[in-house]
Amino acid sequence: MSELLDRRAIRLAEKAADKTEAIRRTGQALVEIGAVEPGYVDTMLAREQSISTYVGEGVAIPHGTLGGKQLVNRDALSVLRFPETVDWDGEPVTLCVGIAANGDGHVELLAALAEILLDEDAARELREATDPDTVIRLLGALKEEDSNS
């Protein structure tokens, strides 16, 4: 079974001039591990235009539109850290968690991720992480949802 969080998709010293570039890089990480087709990145940008994916605690969770689901090969996350922060409509974002999900598993995934971020210590550790192992330890609890069927 493939891992939801691929070590190759954890990049902790990223730079982006703006939100759009940050989303492109976050999506590109998902493309590079084969989780999504390149077109998925455009649906992530479309999603962001329709509504911000900033969730608080310096974290944004870019993901595709419903229409982008067919471009998802497997559920996966990418974690990109921007130490210099990226301006997200006035909010400084340090961490982008890119989400690829083709089933309904993303609701549980987002819920579990939100649960982790509600823990202020965990959220701070994630924002300050320089070692992929830290990210894996903190987000390792996130599981691919086994469908109910």
Assess whether 106 carries a catalytic annotation: no
Distance CA 83, CA 127 (A): 8
Of these, 84, 87, 104, 133, which contacts other proteins (CB under 8 A)? 104
Backbone Cα Rg of the chain: 14
Using the structure block, give the residue that is written with the tokens 């479309």.
Answer: 46
Interacting span for other proteins (CB under 8 A) from 9-17, 29-37, 82-90, 102-110: 102-110
118 contributes a contact to other proteins by CB under 8 A: yes
Of residues 14 and 57, the one with the C-beta less far from other proteins: 57
33 contributes a contact to other proteins by CB under 8 A: no
Of residues 36 and 117, the one with the C-beta less far from other proteins: 117
53 contributes a contact to other proteins by CB under 8 A: yes
CA 117 to chain centre: 13
Do residues 54 and 62 make contact, with C-beta atoms less than 8 angstroms apart?
A: no
At its nearest, how many Å lie between other proteins and the CB of residue 117? 5
Distance CA 112, CA 83 (A): 24
Catalytic residue numbers? 63
